[in-house]
Structure 1
Amino acid sequence: MEIRHLVTFQKVATLMSFTRAAEELSYAQSSVTTQIRALETSLGVELFDRLGGRIRLTAAGEKLLEYAEQILALTDAARADLAGGGGPSGTLMIGTMESVTSYRMPPLLEFFHHRYPKVQLSLRPSLCAETCYALRQGIFDIGFLMEQETRHQGLETVVLAEEPLVLVAAPGHPLAGQNGLSLADLRAASILATEAGCAYRDLFEEELRVEGTIPFLEFGTIEAIKRGVTSGLGIALLPSVTVAGELEKGEMTQLEWEAPFSVHTQLAWRSGRRLSRELKLFIDQAVRLMREDMSLAESG
């Protein structure tokens, strides 16, 4: 059982395609097939069921994939340690969103800037559906999601916390201070929102919909929405972390309406991919620092 055969097997098992694995590894497809056959012969088991033009892992293949991930991760760690003194380095492509980047990630970014300056974190603004697609295609290494669902096909996820949502308005808005707001009250108001595809915006729109489409006023960023709200242009449903400062200063007021749905901030990466030490480090520190930050915010 050779390391290069395990690398090829891991790539085929992740992509579920001999052709795509050959392209990513810069091999001829016949070479990939030969290596998988050699691995199966050395282990005495079939690793893939071949069903016409499709493949899937056998039970033995699924077990081997777990071992292969561990073996290749240890190989990478050993190679890095023996290479001498470099420490974690390289670039991580991270799919994220404005609310996470601006309000949740600063402690994490500061940690990497000071502790691991050779690790470059490349942040790519992206809607959740786009992030999931980019992760499955190997375009992003890791991604942040804020969605109702916590299980995503083809992805491993860690739920950091439930993300509280609040409905806000300017203090002088007609709905400010009213008790027991109904959906009819909200439908009659001007509603400021992010673009379609944002999970909590789509859930809010579905909650308000009776017939046709709710006429949301779409703004490009959360900061633009906040300026619109404070100017009295309308109301908005936003993560509470994004408006905490404005609520504390009295620039906005929270309306007495609680969303009947919830979203969770999550960290996701492609299932079956071999995690580099840099990616493992990012996941571990993101979970630690962001959970701590969110826990402190809840207790405060």
Structure 2
Amino acid sequence: MDIKDLAIFKTVASFGNITKAAEHLNYAQSNVTARINQLEQELAVDLFIRNSRGVVLTNSGEIFLDYANKIIGLQDEVVSVLHDGTRGKLKIGLIVEVAAVRLPYIMCGFKEACPNVELVTYIESTAALLGKILNYELDGIFVDGPIKNEELVQEICIDDELVLITGQQLSDSQNLELICKNDLIVASQNCIYKRKFEQWVQSENVQLPRSIQVGTWDGIFTSVELGLGFSITIRSLAEKYSKSNSFFIYELPKAYNQNPLVFLRRKDRIMTRTFQTFLDLSSQKTIANSGNRNL
């Protein structure tokens, strides 16, 4: 068994299909099948259940996947540590709102400070990124807070606020009955911003508006600009898009507008010079671009 076997196993588990995994890895399917079979023989357990649609992890396979993630993560970490964090990879997960507003500035500074370190970024939902960091797949994540988990440490907190955006000027931005006669444009139906707005609506005993899922912030801002409805987002993102889109920004009541963005790392993750540089840059760019407090 070597690290490549673990990487192949992890990819097959991710795709749930050997053919697709082989295509992704640019390997022959027979080679991937042989490596998985050899791995199962060495471990003396079945890692997958084979069926006509692909493969599914067995209980043993799920346990082995946890260890595979840890071992692969430690391999990347040890390369960085041995070179005092000046080489290797740094894998960071971000929600799209952070990526759109802050990531370009952070990447620019990081490239200059750590030219021999590859910064690998993953843009996904808060829930997906939490799963990845807990499985040792990421070094750190920027997500919606607050998050409490005994395995994670909070390094940065950005006090961003939620705002309401509309394509037409409102005579009274606190008149929920008037606002809710329009459609609420959202990225997804389980969006945290949608849930917080609905808490405000329900507290006022107002009927919830119909929600329309668009999927991307580009689509949301364009939809709002065209008068198809209103949306809820963080102020930093609204102000960024307001430079290229025409819409109005309104504050929400303080009881419902708090939306901290937090950076988390694993407690057992060694703090290398590279990681500290990334944190320092993130803190600086947070202050420069949002004007908010870094805790």
Q: TM-score range by the shorter chain?
A: 0.5 to 0.7
Tell me which stretches of 4 or more aligned residues in structure 1 moved more than 4 Å: 19-26, 209-214, 245-250
Counterpart mapping for 1:21-36 below 5 A: 24=70
Q: Quote how far apart the aligned CAs of 1:268 are.
A: 0.6
Q: Quote how far apart the aligned CAs of 1:92 are.
A: 1.7
Counterpart mapping for 1:273-284 below 5 A: 273-284=269-280
Q: After the TM superposition, which of the residue ranges 258-267 and 247-256 deviates more from structure 2?
A: 247-256
Structure 1 residues 28-54: Cα deviation after superposition (integer angstroms, max 9, x where no partner): xxxxxxxxxxxxxxxxxxxxxxxxxxx
Task: State the alpha-carbon separation in 1 of the partners of residues 259 and 201 from structure 2.
Answer: 17
- Change over 3 Å in CA distance of 1:283–1:208 after alignment to 2: same
* AA at the equivalent of 2:246: E
User: Which of structures 1 and 2 has the bigger CA Rg?
Assistant: 1
* AA at the equivalent of 1:263: N
Task: State the alpha-carbon separation in 2 of the partners of residues 170 and 237 from structure 1.
Answer: 12
What are the ranges of 5 or more consecutive residues in structure 1 without an aligned counterpart?
Answer: 1-16, 27-72, 82-86
Q: Percent identity?
A: 18
Do the aligned residues in 2 keep the contact of 1:246 with 1:252 (CA within 8 Å)? no
Counterpart residue number, 1:186? 179
Do the aligned residues in 2 keep the contact of 1:108 with 1:285 (CA within 8 Å)? yes
What are the ranges of 5 or more consecutive residues in structure 2 without an aligned counterpart?
Answer: 1-62
Task: State the alpha-carbon separation in 2 of the partners of residues 76 and 89 from structure 1.
Answer: 5
Instruction: Report SS of the residue matched to 2:132.
Output: helix
TM-score, normalised to structure 1's length? 0.63
Structure 1 residues 119-172: Cα deviation after superposition (integer angstroms, max 9, x where no partner): 22211111112211211111111100123x25334211123321122111113x
User: Please, what is the CA RMSD of the aligned residues?
Assistant: 3.4
Instruction: Report SS of the residue matched to 2:86.
Output: coil
TM-score, normalised to structure 2's length? 0.64
Counterpart residue number, 2:238? 243
- Change over 3 Å in CA distance of 1:25–1:187 after alignment to 2: closer
Task: State the alpha-carbon separation in 2 of the partners of residues 242 and 22 from structure 1.
Answer: 37
Q: 215, 218, 228: which is aligned to 2:213?
A: 218
- Change over 3 Å in CA distance of 1:260–1:182 after alignment to 2: farther
Instruction: Report SS of the residue matched to 2:91.
Output: strand
* AA at the equivalent of 1:187: C
Do the aligned residues in 2 keep the contact of 1:157 with 1:268 (CA within 8 Å)? yes
Instruction: Indicate whether 1:201 and 2:197 are aligned.
Output: no
Q: 92, 95, 99: which is aligned to 1:101?
A: 99
- Change over 3 Å in CA distance of 1:144–1:162 after alignment to 2: same
Counterpart residue number, 2:148? 151
Do the aligned residues in 2 keep the contact of 1:168 with 1:255 (CA within 8 Å)? yes
* AA at the equivalent of 2:143: L
* AA at the equivalent of 1:283: L
Q: Quote how far apart the aligned CAs of 1:196 are.
A: 3.4
Number of equivalent positions:
224
- Change over 3 Å in CA distance of 1:265–1:285 after alignment to 2: same
